[in-house]
Chains A and B, each alone.
Chain A
Amino acid sequence: MKNHDLVIIGGGPAGLAAAVSAKDHGIDDIVIIERDKEPGGILNQCIHNGFGLHTFGEELTGPEYADRFICQTAARKITCQLNTMVMDLKAGPDFKTVTAINRKDGIFQIHAKAVILAMGCRERPRGALNIPGTRPAGIFSAGTAQRLVNMEGLMPGREVVILGSGDIGLIMARRMTLEGAHVSVVAELQPYSGGLKRNIVQCLNDFGIPLKLSHTVTDIEGTDRLCAVTIAQAGPDGRPVPGSETRYPCDTLLLSCGLIPENELTRGAGIRIDPVTQGPVVSDSLETSAEGIFACGNVLHVHDLVDYVSLEAAAAGKNAARYIRGGRSAAGGTIAIRPENGVRYTVPAFISPDGTDETVTVRFRVDRIYRNHTIAVYFDNTPVSRRKRPVMAPGEMEQVILDRKKLAASPDLHSVTIRIEAPA
């Protein structure tokens, strides 16, 4: 049995930034546990540029962004235990039990005063997507293809169709094209793309790759290897419109259909999960329903920009440090944050009135595209702020910053409501 003050599960950008922040807030006994052979998480396969514009003011590639944080942990002599997978987590008021496995030590247990969950997310598997047709080889998730091409140097195929226009799908359309493949179409079920405008322009338009919105795959052909897919327009009811089918001969289909937080360990520890985000429910100190267990990054909710992951993780590290130094978790009453009218969820889900930070950052996503709408905040039924936004889209995270002084000035507050409202 080993003992540590803080165990961080996952050595991606979230785990690394959380470790740096906890150390800078006075915790020395920290261990990061990472199942891969190197730290950096999913950034290691994201070789395109565009990371870190907010944090470093320059456009880094994924591995360069990760390296900045790997250097920061190395400079602080923080231990990162690689090739080690956490298999189980148990909550408890005095210590948490982390069970992990690796080749050298076999199965071992650690007692930790606090734990930070930073396991990231994984791609929605194809089985969950209900596509008709056969199941030949040649169908990959976009993230798997990204790993094959960028880390193993293997090309999944030559004639490519992509289903789903999330950023990973768009990035892979360009990457496969640059490596000599032909991408004939990107089909998206929604009437809008979930990807960034910049990726539509620089990954599709630059190479003349068509984007078909409100389209879906209706048939997959091939016995051993994929030989064609059929794409049709999706009507308002989501069903294919008869006569709108086009058949694309191809040997590869990439699926870019969204990400799900990786929360098996969290569920195993009996921690409450939000049905919308599929991540743990957290307070404004990013503490889960189990005291002393915090969460940040994609395991909490799916982020589109890694810069926000780093910021959120720094807050988790700071709060875990405070907890270890003896600050108890918030006792007593809480103020619920209620997402309403177009706001799908909020992180955090509630606020402890006795928190000490000057502001509370509430991050959320909207359920569709809104133009010239307002983000309205209410304390119980009293309107407290309104901010007009020219455009909001499900693909881009929004935020509201609440002033702790204002919260403290309303001692009987039960809930804060965040709503999207139409122009007056």
Chain B
Amino acid sequence: MKQQELTCIGCPLGCTVTVTTNDLPGPDGENILSVTGNTCPRGDSYARKEVTCPTRIVTSTVRVRGGTSPLVNVKTASAIPRDKIFDCMNAIKDVTVTAPVHIGDRILSNVAGTDVDVVAARNIPSAEV
């Protein structure tokens, strides 16, 4: 048996939720025996997701050639598994794009094998020459 303490981020109350799992890998990685400490059901589903497959949207920047700004900020189009964050950062690190860049332009597809694209989150016009 293993116990994990999490802070629910569903609302400002920030309940400390305890999740008890057994060591047998279940269909989602681990088997959850109990979830306690949550004040409302949202805390229960949040904790189950955090323990079995936590995901995050990753935001960063990539370099731009010929734009009005040296960088454009980018984001994963949807949340990716938390343990892929650094793989995603490594994949983004060496990318350079050419201006103009528009919000939603695809910067990288299927980043770090997550099936999720990295897209531009800002418009960068071409620099006037």
Q: Bound state CA distance, A35 and B113, in angstroms?
A: 43
Would B12 and A393 count as touching, CB distance under 8 A?
yes
CB contacts under 8 Å to B, within A141-200, are 149-153, 178-179, 196-198, 200
Q: Bound state CA distance, A221 and B7, in angstroms?
A: 35
Q: Give the residue of A179, A198, A390 whose beta carbon is less than 8 angstroms from that of B13.
A: A390
Q: Any chain A CB within 8 A of the CB of B123?
A: yes
Q: Any chain A CB within 8 A of the CB of B48?
A: no
Report A-chain residues with C-beta under 8 Å of the C-beta of B82. 206
CB contacts under 8 Å to A, within B46-64, are 56-61, 63
Closest to A391 in B: B13
Q: Give the residue of B57, B122, B123 whose beta carbon is less than 8 angstroms from that of A49.
A: B57
Of A49, A149, A200, A396, the most chain B CB neighbours within 10 A belong to A49
- Nearest CB of chain A from residue B122's CB, rounded to whole Å: 4
Closest to A47 in B: B73
Q: Any chain A CB within 8 A of the CB of B118?
A: no
Q: Give the residue of B8, B9, B39, B121 whose beta carbon is less than 8 angstroms from that of A63.
A: B121
Of A48, A150, A197, A396, the most chain B CB neighbours within 10 A belong to A197
- Nearest CB of chain B from residue A36's CB, rounded to whole Å: 12
Q: Any chain B CB within 8 A of the CB of A109?
A: no
Report B-chain residues with C-beta under 8 Å of the C-beta of A48. 59
Interface size of A as a range: 20 to 34
Would B122 and A67 count as touching, CB distance under 8 A?
yes
Q: Any chain B CB within 8 A of the CB of A361?
A: no
Report B-chain residues with C-beta under 8 Å of the C-beta of A64. 103, 121-122
- Once A and B bind, how many residue pairs between them come within 8 Å at the CB atom? 70
- Nearest CB of chain A from residue B2's CB, rounded to whole Å: 17
Q: Give the residue of A44, A152, A201, A391 whose beta carbon is less than 8 angstroms from that of B7.
A: A201
CB contacts under 8 Å to A, within B1-37, are 6-9, 12-14
Report A-chain residues with C-beta under 8 Å of the C-beta of B71. 150-153
Closest to A198 in B: B9
Q: Bound state CA distance, A47 and B103, in angstroms?
A: 13
Report B-chain residues with C-beta under 8 Å of the C-beta of A179. 60, 89
Would A178 and B85 count as touching, CB distance under 8 A?
yes
Q: Any chain B CB within 8 A of the CB of A61?
A: yes
Report A-chain residues with C-beta under 8 Å of the C-beta of B73. 47, 61, 63, 150
Report A-chain residues with C-beta under 8 Å of the C-beta of B59. 47-49, 61
Closest to A395 in B: B12
Q: Bound state CA distance, A178 and B74, in angstroms?
A: 14
Report B-chain residues with C-beta under 8 Å of the C-beta of A123. none
- Nearest CB of chain A from residue B27's CB, rounded to whole Å: 24
